Amino acid sequence: MFREQSKNVRPFFVQVLIGGKDTESGRKAMQALKAVYAHWVPDERILLTNLWSAELTKLTANAMLAQRISSVNSISALCEMTGADIAQVRRRRLGALEFFVSALM
């Protein structure tokens, strides 16, 4: 399951990814889990896929989040060394920099 980043005050599921085996029992299990999430998540945001695709998606998302955190920490260190104001840096929206600026908020 994926939560929207920087929305930790109130849980908001951007999407739920459910992986399972491509067998009758696997498909039934995925549908049962989908029914549970359907109480909180719109149907179009619940995605079903095979087990390996779900696992690799999770690993990729975690790696990208780790990279984002690392980048933010580097920018913060640069701000401390140069005397830049991190609050002002985080307010700027400069195209490609958007990916880490939102993590500062």
User: How far, in whole angstroms, is CA 20 from its chain's centroid?
Assistant: 20
CA 40 and chain centroid, separation: 17
Cβ atoms of residues 50 and 19 within 8 Å: yes
For 20, half-sphere exposure in the C-beta direction (CA atoms, 13 angstrom radius) is 16
Q: pLDDT of 47-96, one tens digit each?
A: 999 999 999 998 998 898 888 888 888 888 999 999 998 878 776 655 54
pLDDT tens string 17-27: 999 999 999 99
- Domain range annotation of the chain: 2-104
- List Cβ neighbours of 71 (8 Å cut-off, separation of 6 or more): 99, 100, 103
Stated pTM of the model: 0.60
Task: Provide the β-strand partners of residue 17.
Answer: 47
Q: What are phi and psi of 104, to 5 degrees?
A: -75, -20
